[in-house]
Structure 1
């Protein structure tokens, strides 16, 4: 992704003589074409003579205050024409026999450049700069015919930002504009790093103030000027800029995935051709998923890439399977991103990556250093924090530390999608030196976003500037070679926090369907692997590794940082949705087959009656779980002793309260029953209560009037569970960004249409409210059971709003300096009362399954099953539900959304109240399944696997990728050291401790440090430790 290009900045100089000399030098070999373009009619014939078609009668194109030629958005086509005769002199400098180039920068969805009736260049929003060779040797009097066809973006006005003719020298003395750039580079170096040089540089510039380029001694004077600049620039030559060719390639964004495969082939073929012509060129690319596609579909191209990798000229900078969204995915998803990425790189490309190359993801969770380190990666690279809208990130090179103490080297790279722009390179180098103290910087030339990579012109420019005495040394090399020279890492500053991007806050919410699919896939795959593992261990069933890997890879692909965030065109989601659905269906099928295999091996006791049927309830989380389950149809339910359990009938279900042991199952009997459904009292008080909480509903709004915890503390300070609407528009990055001033534009809250009791106990209560706003309808059920400590809000929204933001708010009586939010494998505390600009910029933050606001007496947690955006200010905790952006997807979020969130008022801290495991339970409900009568070796109720420490939450139970061991992965969730001690009906043992790539570590400790992610080999009872 890239920002809209703007005009080339002028020299930053405090001294007029330097600026004047730069302008004078550039004027001698550069011509600004912006005033010379005319508006050609849509009927213009590109191949025909422009003069004959009426060129001289066409209107001059108007320029705005930025000197851009702009035209309206909406994929409107603009034709610009220019007829220009090569003069004897450019200003006063003779130009005969010099090379002539056309330099262009546009902001257009599509661009075509015609020279003398021939199409010579195409481009788009990403390939938006061009340097076209017009003549090898310019001849005065030669007439140029230039024509541009530009199509404006659908979401933004188009613009021709810059157009210049540049005459280039082939002699030892470069053209004057090149000399002007050298002067500008030396000036910027003096301004930023050695201001004591400015007076001397100013004096040199003043001595050439009378330069007349028409005089015979001009060449000699210019040679002396360059010599004097070179003398001052000697310190610059002590600096070095490493170049690594790059082609950022978004797997899907403003184009579908199929187009990405085509762009990748073109890009990689281009790079290989350029490496043949420019042996110095090194190139780096990420994304093992992309290499795998090339391997399968273009084996010839893949073999050529492998050869360059072996030669050290093509660097695999990968790490994860794709470049994913890193705020919204689970820790296990990140483990698999790295596991599959590293395995492919090692086994197929012959490289184990030490670098996580993530230039464009929209912020980075705090546990990423630990996850990277466990996958054998010690360096993290991004440039995205340069996009911050409020503060400048303080470090360019630093040690990034996770909460458990794990560290990686972190590098804020130069911008991506750039060319060989000497002034930009120089300014970045000086900035880098000021930030890091290092005189060695890294630049990444290459067209990006839609692929492209380095161009021939970039490489030719690099060769020219390698020879300049006024520029840092330029050298193509690999990122690995560059990193090895960065020196002692111990001296670097430490960043011990998340890397929050002060931008793109709407991506936590946009395209809510993608967020729901992601959560469903992650939870379904966890459950599928747990039960497939147990089925294999207990019954000998085959472990479906191939199917699970395919489902995981589809999920990981759709976690790409422009798919999951909701920032792509409709065609992308037409491809992604079936992939999500298939991954989820595969997980469900694997789980169903595993549960069926287990059920077939259970030995049942005698049933309570001849018509009773076995029924199993499975729990895939550790710890006993008490809840109310729903069974389709109407049944009498009996425990294994034949005792009938209390139940409640709804029109379609039977409800029963059960307790199921950790990672195990509970056997019951069910017998068909004639239902007696309790009559509903429509006048009953709007009050809900159980042993954990009590709530009162406002009959006028349907909002919460009161919410008390089990000790009777009131948690609300005003109406809670209140839907709030805001206007959310005016942002260029529509799907990405929430309007920072949205709270200044509130809209009327949805109005209550009805409030109706649907269920009134004794096991479950359900109160439904229906609200409406404009064209949208909200149907929400307050659901409370006798067994669950939360009040659940089951919500269906028919959303038809555009450029609106919908939140649900809970004003609380809790006053605390921080709110706590779940992140991948941990929790993060963020200020509720910002004290710094950086803290104030976090006015919308990401979280996974829960957020909590607590003081010393207790607090309020919001749990959810597919939402990710929160904010907390002034004792008010809010969950963001929906948006209504129209670009790049005009239909984003329109239609029906089903989701649930729950509110959990609790005494004590969030840790003591068990907020983290409860949120897991909300997302991983128990599973019920009928069972056959069998006489196997398994008991009808059993605890397969449990452990003693409640704060150790499971991430995975699976077979290893090599198939030779079983693996249990968990993490410490509350910041306190824990010991993993396995319990249960089977005598499992813990084997070797494993890293994130499932390889044994030297330590076999079962102690898990605060916030640590730990993987263990799980030994079967028959195995020896």
Structure 2
């Protein structure tokens, strides 16, 4: 669809001819998605939008609704796709990857079972999706010999997305071959739906696959990490933004920005193209994709600001001598945690004092901490504020800020003279080794969860291949080590002083931040351990300044236990991932779990990882070549010139770490990952005091039931609410819409997706189709 969408006016004559061919039945619409996306890293919600966009277009323009989905070139396929395909009206699927050596059977056809028990039939095209120009007939001859035992089979030919399509010469050669072999075979030009119909009628017993169709091209789980991070950010902004826009529209009468959101969604979908998001494109593709994602982010930034202002209706104007920040919680549940934002002083401070913030949240005093602001201007004016608070669900929360004068900005005692720095808030105890900058202990309620030397940055030999990972010859590893005080001070830009490379940089009633500085070869990094004064979870911020070639970087966490199950979030589900240091792909979280312990890691845009004997390796970046692969040709990247590699420069990563007993922690992990990614929206604003303040839009009382979408319906007047069960258990939840006094009780099978339609006038909720 993307081709038609972008070329309609320029190729209108061709387009009309195609429509005529479709009408007469000589041109078949296959797949019917917006485009062929990556099928591992986009969220399940994004895949639904991709299908819905294509389905609307092909139905409106051609009157066609394919029942076979096609993703020939995608690098693997999440098991969560099965339920999406099933609910979207697809009964079959054609893929080329992974290849036959990934299966313990030879058949190209198999049943693929999803998390909720639904199934589709898959055809794995072993001959791949394209033939060499002018060689289609001889490739078909080889295919016939290899599939002689199959009663019915499918052969794909044509040059495909590598240029040229189905050539006249190939068609002529194939027609001749069809005549020559008509006594042995019934070979016809057909379509995929007809193939699957005949396959079913044959009664062939097909093998069953109950896992994701992975691994494929493991390097693509990490290549061009900026694209992956910005893609995740735009997903977060769209799906949290839609929830804001729905609240502003339904509760405050603001017009829903449907056209703007649709434009941002199409930016997101195009960035999910299977050579863009995976990072296998050229540097020009990377730049184009980043620009496209930035366009979508700018749209969402503007619309969220407008909605945020609308949602402050009924809030009183701020008092003289104070500042005010509003935080919108887009989620249907309370959030308790630490929230950081910036605001200005009511007036510039020209006095010889420092103004320290004190906050209230929704009228109640909360723990408050001032930290180093983003501005380095010489006047005490801009303030970074961190609070410990509970935000009310699906509504605006008001933060009033007062300031008290203290003699100067807080400074913190050096810790480098101690062997270790110990942080203990009563529930969590963490130990930082001041000689290494690494974490030697992380205990929750007295139980140890890591081994010494955890959160170590390690560089590994890599291939220059954009799709691959590691070298077949060796995989040498070098650790980034703590910089000397002189090296660390130079790296930090301190020209006139020397300070330790491990230090406390923030401390107060809300949290403590410890910074450590590392380096190896031509690269350096800072790592910040962010410890809250309440709770058992902490955050890691890692800033890498990378200048290496053909090397990949991991953040290694050594669990205190060596055996367990390695899990990862996938589309509308969770999957057990392979171990033994083999690279795997997941979405917002990974977890290493045994009967008694769970160590969880939530990310905001990193997908690749590995584990071996309890050592979790989060893959941060890889400096491979752009679109570099050898194939059957001479080795690439041997030109006698400078050749650009990926990931040269600054890259920043954030993780949330939490350990505990598996039950409650794992049941609520998708919710915690959603909070970390779709963060509450904060902005400084002085409201007018006009209007009427309303309550929350929606609440859901089960922590394992996740609100995937709340948006304006595209096909009729109303709103779409999409929820799913995330813990893999039967569940029940009450969905409440207070404005209409509506309570809708939901019952779920494990990992089940439910789509609902809300009539915004009456508050009536009813079940709806997946696609809108």
Task: State the TM-score, normalized to the length of structure 1.
Answer: 0.66
Q: Cα distance, 1:747 vs. partner?
A: 2.6
| Correspondence 1:879 to 2:618 | yes
Match of 1:803 in 2: 550
| Correspondence 1:546 to 2:259 | yes
CA contact (8 A) 1:325 1:561 kept: yes
Q: Cα distance, 1:427 vs. partner?
A: 4.0
CA contact (8 A) 2:113 2:120 kept: yes
CA contact (8 A) 2:568 2:591 kept: yes
Question: How far apart are the structure 1 equivalents of 2:358 and 2:61?
Answer: 55
Question: How far apart are the structure 2 equivalents of 1:426 and 1:493?
Answer: 26
Question: Alignment partner of 2:57: what SS?
Answer: helix
Q: Map Cα deviations across residues 833-860 of structure 1 (whole Å, 9 max, x no partner).
A: 6xxxxxxxx8100011111011121221
Q: Map Cα deviations across residues 818-842 of structure 1 (whole Å, 9 max, x no partner).
A: 2111111111012446xxxxxxxx8
CA contact (8 A) 1:533 1:958 kept: yes
Question: Alignment partner of 1:904: what SS?
Answer: strand
2:467 to 736, 758, 777: 736
Question: How far apart are the structure 2 equivalents of 1:355 and 1:687?
Answer: 58
1:587-602 alignment to 2 at 5 Å?
587-599=300-312, 601-602=313-314
| Correspondence 1:928 to 2:682 | yes
Q: Cα distance, 1:984 vs. partner?
A: 6.2
Question: Alignment partner of 1:779: what SS?
Answer: strand
CA contact (8 A) 1:724 1:806 kept: yes
| Correspondence 1:631 to 2:344 | no
Q: Cα distance, 1:872 vs. partner?
A: 1.4
Q: Cα distance, 1:974 vs. partner?
A: 0.4
Q: Cα distance, 1:548 vs. partner?
A: 0.6
- Change in 2 beyond 3 A, CA 1:640/1:955: closer
Question: How far apart are the structure 2 equivalents of 1:588 and 1:387?
Answer: 45
Question: How far apart are the structure 2 equivalents of 1:658 and 1:611?
Answer: 23
Match of 2:166 in 1: 454
CA contact (8 A) 1:814 1:854 kept: no
Question: How far apart are the structure 2 equivalents of 1:350 and 1:787?
Answer: 58
CA contact (8 A) 1:696 1:705 kept: yes
1:425 to 123, 133, 140: 140
Match of 2:411 in 1: 679
| Correspondence 1:495 to 2:212 | no
Match of 1:396 in 2: 108
Question: How far apart are the structure 2 equivalents of 1:931 and 1:431?
Answer: 73
1:347-426 alignment to 2 at 5 Å?
347-386=60-99, 394-413=106-125, 414-418=127-131, 421-422=136-137, 424-426=139-141
2:706 to 931, 946, 953: 953
Q: Cα distance, 1:931 vs. partner?
A: 4.2
Match of 1:869 in 2: 608
Match of 1:938 in 2: 693
Question: Alignment partner of 2:21: what SS?
Answer: helix
Question: How far apart are the structure 1 equivalents of 2:359 and 2:160?
Answer: 64
1:499-538 alignment to 2 at 5 Å?
499-501=213-215, 503-538=216-251
- Change in 2 beyond 3 A, CA 1:587/1:953: same
CA contact (8 A) 2:428 2:535 kept: no
Question: How far apart are the structure 2 equivalents of 1:783 and 1:490?
Answer: 57
Question: How far apart are the structure 2 equivalents of 1:897 and 1:465?
Answer: 55
Match of 1:980 in 2: 733
CA contact (8 A) 2:136 2:158 kept: no
CA contact (8 A) 2:367 2:509 kept: no
| Correspondence 1:855 to 2:590 | no
CA contact (8 A) 1:751 1:773 kept: no
Q: Cα distance, 1:911 vs. partner?
A: 4.9
- Change in 2 beyond 3 A, CA 1:629/1:742: farther
| Correspondence 1:670 to 2:401 | yes
Match of 1:582 in 2: 295
1:20-35 alignment to 2 at 5 Å?
none
2:440 to 705, 714, 720: 705
Match of 1:826 in 2: 573
Q: Cα distance, 1:771 vs. partner?
A: 0.8
Question: How far apart are the structure 1 equivalents of 2:246 and 2:604?
Answer: 25
Match of 2:748 in 1: 1008
2:52 to 331, 336, 339: 339
Match of 1:761 in 2: 508
Match of 2:424 in 1: 689
| Correspondence 1:620 to 2:330 | yes
CA contact (8 A) 1:988 1:1020 kept: no
CA contact (8 A) 1:852 1:910 kept: no
- Change in 2 beyond 3 A, CA 1:471/1:411: same
Match of 2:652 in 1: 898
Unmatched 5+ stretches in structure 1: 1-287, 834-841, 992-1004
Question: How far apart are the structure 1 equivalents of 2:522 and 2:746?
Answer: 56
Deviates more, 1:1007-1016 or 1:881-890: 881-890
Match of 1:844 in 2: 583
Question: How far apart are the structure 2 equivalents of 1:538 and 1:325?
Answer: 37
- Across the two proteins, how many residue pairs are aligned to each other? 703
Higher relative contact order by CA 8 Å / sep ≥ 6: 1 or 2? Answer: 2
- Change in 2 beyond 3 A, CA 1:401/1:1012: same
Question: How far apart are the structure 1 equivalents of 2:764 and 2:81?
Answer: 35
| Correspondence 1:722 to 2:443 | no
2:663 to 909, 932, 954: 909
- Change in 2 beyond 3 A, CA 1:459/1:985: closer
Question: How far apart are the structure 2 equivalents of 1:641 and 1:927?
Answer: 16
Q: Map Cα deviations across residues 885-906 of structure 1 (whole Å, 9 max, x no partner).
A: 0232733111111120122121
- Change in 2 beyond 3 A, CA 1:451/1:905: same
CA contact (8 A) 2:547 2:648 kept: yes
Q: Map Cα deviations across residues 563-622 of structure 1 (whole Å, 9 max, x no partner).
A: 1111111111232221110101111211111111111x2244x97x54445432211123
Question: How far apart are the structure 1 equivalents of 2:595 and 2:235?
Answer: 34
Q: Cα distance, 1:292 vs. partner?
A: 1.9
Q: Map Cα deviations across residues 466-516 of structure 1 (whole Å, 9 max, x no partner).
A: 221565232212222232222346832221111113x41010101111011
CA contact (8 A) 1:319 1:377 kept: no
1:293-304 alignment to 2 at 5 Å?
293-304=6-17
Question: How far apart are the structure 1 equivalents of 2:364 and 2:200?
Answer: 72
Match of 2:366 in 1: 645
Q: Map Cα deviations across residues 191-246 of structure 1 (whole Å, 9 max, x no partner).
A: xxxxxxxxxxxxxxxxxxxxxxxxxxxxxxxxxxxxxxxxxxxxxxxxxxxxxxxx
CA contact (8 A) 1:651 1:677 kept: no
CA contact (8 A) 1:989 1:1021 kept: no
Q: Map Cα deviations across residues 19-76 of structure 1 (whole Å, 9 max, x no partner).
A: xxxxxxxxxxxxxxxxxxxxxxxxxxxxxxxxxxxxxxxxxxxxxxxxxxxxxxxxxx
CA contact (8 A) 1:855 1:909 kept: no
Question: How far apart are the structure 1 equivalents of 2:578 and 2:286?
Answer: 36
- Change in 2 beyond 3 A, CA 1:391/1:743: farther
CA RMSD of aligned residues (A): 2.4
CA contact (8 A) 2:335 2:391 kept: yes
Task: State the TM-score, normalized to the length of structure 2.
Answer: 0.86
Q: Cα distance, 1:669 vs. partner?
A: 2.1
Q: Cα distance, 1:712 vs. partner?
A: 1.0
Question: How far apart are the structure 2 equivalents of 1:639 and 1:984?
Answer: 27
Q: Cα distance, 1:382 vs. partner?
A: 0.8
Deviates more, 1:695-704 or 1:920-929: 920-929
Q: Cα distance, 1:743 vs. partner?
A: 6.7
